[in-house]
Structure 1
Amino acid sequence: MADIHAEKQHADHVEKVRGSIDHTHGLDAHGFAAEVEELPKGYFYSPFFLGTTCAIGLNLMASTGGFALVAPVFGQISVALGPTSSIIWLSLVYTIGLAVGLTLVGRLTDTFGRRWFFIVGTALGCLGAIVASTAKTMNVLIGGQVLIGLSASTGYSYSFVIGELVPVKYRFIFNSVIFLFSIPTGGFGAAVATSLILNTAGGWRWVYYLLIILNGLTALLYTVFYFPPTFHQKHGSDTVAKFIKNFDWGGLVLYTAGLVLFIVGLSSGGTLHPWKDARVLAPIVIGFLCLVALFVYESYANLAQPLIPIHFFKNRGWVAAMISLSFGASVYYSQAIVWPQMTANVYAQGRVMWGGVVASLVGVGITFGEILGGFAAKSIGHWKIQAVVVITLGGLFLGLAALCDPTTPGMAMAFMFLATTFVGWNEALMLPICTIAIPDQTEIGTAAGVAGSSRSAISTVASTIYSIVLTSRTTTELSKQVPAAVIAAGLPASSVPAYMTAMAAGGPAALLAQVQGLTPDILATGTEAYRWAFTDAYKTIFLVSLAFSGLTIIANCFIPDIDSLMGGKVAATLIGREKDDDKTAA
């Protein structure tokens, strides 16, 4: 009887709010469960709400750590498990799991309820970390990383999981609260990973031990405190079997196959295989055709439960926010690729821990911007102007970073921090707008999930472009500047190939000792030439990132005015416990 009463209460709330739809600026506001005034006293201070908030935050911390902590230790993993080109799959499977999983988590949990998806998802991350931490071969480690990547799609779903539980007017602020949890991993991931390498006997394995702890604790918190609406509270007397039968299985196959093949092809080009190789071209072409077929299928098939509702793409405000989120993240990824390398090759000069801390500036800047933007967004308002200004400033400071050289580390760090802060601010705006500017709040997970998958896919394309340009420019600048410098310093021309080979291997003393005619002074000259050559190569990426900044600015010109939607309505409440009576979770 309690569940039946809760279902009726939930339905009454939805109908009540639907009766007063706001059509201002063409934006509907319906599909809500309650007004904030209708919630029990102390609802937002209850153990269930606070425990759920902690679970969502730790989930994001673990999910960002699945990449931000692992990427800095690739070198140590390669030494421990054997040098192999397949180490790139550690980042590749994470990206694929995240890109595919975000849409699926959003759509499936909108339909079937969220609780068990998030409990099982975080437990899966814990299992993956256990497998990875005990791995003796690269293949086993990659298998564990697959599970970690799939689990990360729950953590990166934070925008709608926390967003639906609070009044719309507080979504930006609560996103910032969740961002606070990601500071140790998303912000200082490189520094934490470097510290684990330097100060623990387990070395790189401690990265995965930490992920075990975070994912395990998150699964426990979800189990104890997270009780969103159940399937029957969402759909009344309908059966799960009916929804499974009507689920968009054709769309699921096209979506998964298309996205996986497309990302695998893009990411393996120029790394695992040459770009002209059929093993690169075939996945890209087939994956792209599958994605085209997906949208044709979703548009014209008579689907009861489409995986990707096409009506989202008829909503200009949501599309603008989704594109801005995707291209804005592409600006961020330019520096996620370049800045750690620039720190190590230009500024660190052997200071390992210092380099790890400085390399974290990109993550710190993004996280700080997300927190600052979330707290300031509603107070500032003027959504379109705010969005255009912050991404313009982010692009401007990245462009200015091209003026830096080996003698200006302080200026480079300042520009990098400011640029990524404003890019993070843009993300703090776009994520909640993707969940607000939709016609039906019962589809909040799908809206955020599709936008998140788009972010991952487009960022992968951008990362590929950055990597191709950087590889080309680095090869050109090193071959042009370094040989000329060391020959002018007195190194015989016949010794240049051996010198370049030794430096490409990291400059070990054993190899350098074999270079005929190499003196300490020549070595110092060559090291300085390397710093300037790398700087000139990295400048190109700063300039390329301006193109993505420009596209983001254009998208932000179409961001909707959401002031009329910033009220006290709540999309979902914690009413999913079997013992609940007519009260929402107090």
Structure 2
Amino acid sequence: MASEEAKPAEVEYDEYRQQACAVPLATGDIDEVPKNYFYSARFIGSGFAIAINLLASTGGFAMVAPILTEIDESIGPGSIIWLSLVYTMMLAIGLTLVGQMSDVFGRRYFFIGGTLLGAVGATIASRAQTIPVVIGGEVLVGLSAATGYSYAFVIGELVPMKWRFLANAVIFWGSMPTAGFGSAISTAFVLYTEQGWRWAYYLLIIANVTAAALYSLFYFPPNFHQKHGTDSIMRWVKNYDYIGMFLYLAGLLLFILGLSWGGSIYPWKSAGVIAPIIIGFSCLVALMLYEAKANIPEPLVPIHLFKNRGFVASAIVLSLGASVYYSQAIVWPSMAANVYANGRAMWAGWAGTLVGIGITIGEIIGGTLAKHIGKFKYQLLTLITISTISLGAMTTCTPDTPKTAMGLVFLASTAVGWAESIVLPACNICIEDQNEIGTATGIAGSLRSAISTVASTIYSVVLTARETTTLSTVVPAALSQAGLSTSSIEAYMAGVSAGDTSVELSKISGVTSEIIAIGTRAYQVAYADAYRTIFFTSIAFGGLALVVAMFVPNFDALLTNKVATQLNLSNKEANVTNNEKV
């Protein structure tokens, strides 16, 4: 036998894949699965673990983003916007790493460790006395979220391919408390508990510890040696794609950091913004060239995935849909509070849940019905059209149309959720090798986070510029027309920015209850005008999603009885004979 050094990398890779496995990665059709498999404690317990892990992961953003102001007022001031930015950045880099590395080394300990990491991060954030410490905790929460958002391949590989949509729908039910009602829950914590915003992190601690316990007790997927036979872990560690990992981490982090710094920490034309964007983008280009040309036994980013039309089109549509979610998850709660709430904080909290509830309900409906409807391309085109028209119609909303605005946002979000329930499973159904299910889904998830960060940056730049214009023109004009002097107008606007109450504002010279009512209305009109620009911008993303959706294939024929892998059952559960099949 030739020495190990003399073997080409592609031969080593082939040998790795051909190693005998105690539990094959591709177990065949459903009739080869033990009769009690889907009713076993390990399968059901794993399902609960995945659902609660997703609940914790969505909560790391959905419960924190709506209360950034309250956190800043409690322990700030500081760069509070970083609290949401670091979450999306860590999620973006974590998804590919969790997917690819767990494909290689086995999933069990990645998911136990990931949920415990989330508990540690939430603990740090919950006891923080300064903004930087909260941000540090949120970094760990964001990394942990990569395990929760890996639900599509973790549950998907355990069921027949034709059940993957339905399996996702079941998991979505588990995430509803935070994904759907996160804004209301965190607002209630702020208003009605002594610990206030810290309870959002206490809830994350509870959820992550529970998920870790369930994974430990029930989640036993194929381990390293069942994937690779008698091969050694150190051999795989030695041949791991470290150069690809470096280029990936450096490129994605620098690119997203540059975008995030622009217009907030540094001017867009400064070196502090331009340099990270250019260097980060260059690293990502170098990553793709390296992965395409180098002989790597297990590449971090397999280039052949990007030659798969179904995977690429589905991943891009997924990313554009997420762009709508992340932008509206921030914009709509703000719009509800500034335009429609009239000081009703809890009402604003409940109204702010519409995006999360709509997305989750859409995912549940789509996961339940999409397979039965079929013709996935045409479903996507219909759903994207509905969401684009609904968000476009938001441009007609005024401070006097709260019900219309709420209905349109909910409809658009539900359509986006339904579309996501199709394209996310498509990213791992359309691939040729189900052994790469984690890698493919992780790459799609990272692309989703990266593109949605770009979109959120665009939304933020547009909204900030428009708010500056409308607030500086509409409000002074209305107050001046009401008879307020220039100096009092300046004092009034400064008081509103500082959060002064009506009683405090009434102490300003010339300010009466009538003036306050006029000023309140002027602010509502100014904000409504600013948000209108955001909804015009969303039309462009919707149009792009429509074009890309035309390239998503109708993959109905791939929804077979094939099961990608099985959990290892306990000795008691495994006593079912091989003749007793589903």
Q: Distance in 2 between matches of 1:279 and 1:388?
A: 40
Is it true that 1:423 corresponds to 2:436 in the alignment?
no
Q: Which residue does 1:80 correspond to in 2?
A: 74
Q: Which residue does 2:388 correspond to in 1?
A: 395
Checking the alignment, whether the CA contact within 8 Å between 1:229 and 1:576 is kept in structure 2 is no
Question: Deviation of residue 426 (structure 1)?
Answer: 0.6
Q: Which residue does 2:265 correspond to in 1?
A: 272
Question: Deviation of residue 115 (structure 1)?
Answer: 0.3
Specify whether residues 583 and 318 from structure 1 end up closer, same or farther in structure 2 by C-alpha distance, changes over 3 A only. Answer: farther
Q: Deviations over 1:207-234 (max 9, x none)?
A: 1111111000000000000000111111
Is it true that 1:441 corresponds to 2:428 in the alignment?
no
Question: Deviation of residue 514 (structure 1)?
Answer: 5.3
Q: Distance in 1 between matches of 2:225 and 2:570?
A: 12
Instruction: Please point out which of 527, 543, 563 is paired with 1:570.
Output: 563
Residue identity opposite 2:67 in structure 1: V
Instruction: Please point out which of 232, 235, 238 is paired with 1:245.
Output: 238
Instruction: Please point out which of 539, 544, 551 is paired with 2:537.
Output: 544
Is it true that 1:217 corresponds to 2:230 in the alignment?
no
Q: Residue 147 of structure 1 aligns to a residue in which SS? A: helix
Q: Distance in 1 between matches of 2:396 and 2:80?
A: 34
Q: Distance in 1 between matches of 2:66 and 2:146?
A: 21
Question: Deviation of residue 91 (structure 1)?
Answer: 1.2
Q: Residue 23 of structure 2 aligns to a residue in which SS? A: helix
Question: TM-score w.r.t. structure 1 length?
Answer: 0.93
Is it true that 1:204 corresponds to 2:197 in the alignment?
yes
Residue identity opposite 1:79 in structure 2: E
Q: Residue 80 of structure 2 aligns to a residue in which SS? A: helix
Query: After alignment, is 438-447 or 402-411 more displaced?
Result: 402-411
Is it true that 1:334 corresponds to 2:347 in the alignment?
no
Q: Which residue does 1:50 correspond to in 2?
A: 44
Specify whether residues 278 and 508 from structure 1 end up closer, same or farther in structure 2 by C-alpha distance, changes over 3 A only. Answer: farther
Q: Distance in 2 between matches of 1:331 and 1:77?
A: 25
Q: Distance in 1 between matches of 2:275 and 2:497?
A: 32
Question: Deviation of residue 513 (structure 1)?
Answer: 4.5
Q: Distance in 2 between matches of 1:236 and 1:582?
A: 23
Instruction: Please point out which of 297, 307, 311 is paired with 1:304.
Output: 297
Checking the alignment, whether the CA contact within 8 Å between 2:358 and 2:410 is kept in structure 1 is yes
Q: Distance in 1 between matches of 2:67 and 2:280?
A: 31
Is it true that 1:506 corresponds to 2:499 in the alignment?
yes
Q: Which residue does 2:16 correspond to in 1?
A: none
Q: Which residue does 1:153 correspond to in 2?
A: 146
Is it true that 1:121 corresponds to 2:138 in the alignment?
no
Q: Which residue does 2:366 correspond to in 1?
A: 373
| Map 1:475-554 → 2, pairs under 5 A | 475-509=468-502, 512-513=505-506, 515-554=508-547
Q: Deviations over 1:135-176 (max 9, x none)?
A: 222222222111111100000000000000000000001101
Q: Deviations over 1:72-120 (max 9, x none)?
A: 2222221221212x22221122111100000000000000000000001
Checking the alignment, whether the CA contact within 8 Å between 1:334 and 1:541 is kept in structure 2 is no
Q: Which residue does 2:35 correspond to in 1?
A: 41
Checking the alignment, whether the CA contact within 8 Å between 1:165 and 1:574 is kept in structure 2 is yes
Q: Distance in 2 between matches of 1:531 and 1:401?
A: 15
| Map 1:121-140 → 2, pairs under 5 A | 121-140=114-133
Instruction: Please point out which of 344, 356, 374 is paired with 2:337.
Output: 344
Question: TM-score w.r.t. structure 2 length?
Answer: 0.93
Specify whether residues 67 and 434 from structure 1 end up closer, same or farther in structure 2 by C-alpha distance, changes over 3 A only. Answer: same
Question: Deviation of residue 123 (structure 1)?
Answer: 0.7
Residue identity opposite 1:207 in structure 2: A
* Structure 1, unpaired ranges of 5+: 1-5, 15-31
Q: Distance in 1 between matches of 2:101 and 2:381?
A: 34
Question: Deviation of residue 509 (structure 1)?
Answer: 4.8
Residue identity opposite 1:274 in structure 2: P
Query: After alignment, is 71-80 or 365-374 more displaced?
Result: 71-80
Instruction: Please point out which of 15, 23, 43 is paired with 1:10.
Output: 23
Checking the alignment, whether the CA contact within 8 Å between 1:60 and 1:158 is kept in structure 2 is yes
Q: Deviations over 1:356-395 (max 9, x none)?
A: 0011101111111011111010010011111111111111
Checking the alignment, whether the CA contact within 8 Å between 1:228 and 1:576 is kept in structure 2 is no
Residue identity opposite 2:445 in structure 1: G
Question: Deviation of residue 559 (structure 1)?
Answer: 0.9
Checking the alignment, whether the CA contact within 8 Å between 1:342 and 1:538 is kept in structure 2 is yes
Instruction: Please point out which of 51, 56, 63 is paired with 1:69.
Output: 63
Residue identity opposite 1:331 in structure 2: V
Q: Which residue does 2:251 correspond to in 1?
A: 258
Q: Distance in 1 between matches of 2:193 and 2:39?
A: 39
Q: Deviations over 1:401-442 (max 9, x none)?
A: 111111111111111111110011110001100010001000
Runs of 4+ that moved beyond 6 A? 576-586
Q: Distance in 2 between matches of 1:535 and 1:132?
A: 34
Residue identity opposite 2:58 in structure 1: T
Question: Deviation of residue 397 (structure 1)?
Answer: 0.7
Number of aligned residue pairs: give it: 561
Specify whether residues 371 and 282 from structure 1 end up closer, same or farther in structure 2 by C-alpha distance, changes over 3 A only. Answer: same
Checking the alignment, whether the CA contact within 8 Å between 1:573 and 1:584 is kept in structure 2 is no
Q: Distance in 2 between matches of 1:146 and 1:378?
A: 37
Is it true that 1:144 corresponds to 2:157 in the alignment?
no
Question: Deviation of residue 494 (structure 1)?
Answer: 3.5
Checking the alignment, whether the CA contact within 8 Å between 2:77 and 2:131 is kept in structure 1 is no
Question: Deviation of residue 478 (structure 1)?
Answer: 1.4
Q: Which residue does 2:93 correspond to in 1?
A: 100
Residue identity opposite 1:415 in structure 2: L
Is it true that 1:193 corresponds to 2:206 in the alignment?
no
Q: Which residue does 2:464 correspond to in 1?
A: 471
Checking the alignment, whether the CA contact within 8 Å between 2:90 and 2:142 is kept in structure 1 is yes
Specify whether residues 573 and 584 from structure 1 end up closer, same or farther in structure 2 by C-alpha distance, changes over 3 A only. Answer: farther
Q: Distance in 2 between matches of 1:331 and 1:69?
A: 18
Q: Deviations over 1:170-213 (max 9, x none)?
A: 00011011111111101110000011112222111111111111
Checking the alignment, whether the CA contact within 8 Å between 1:9 and 1:582 is kept in structure 2 is no
Q: Residue 87 of structure 1 aligns to a residue in which SS? A: coil
Question: Deviation of residue 8 (structure 1)?
Answer: 4.8
Residue identity opposite 2:35 in structure 1: K
RMSD: 1.9
Q: Which residue does 1:3 correspond to in 2?
A: none
Q: Deviations over 1:504-554 (max 9, x none)?
A: 222445762453322221121111011111111111111100111111111
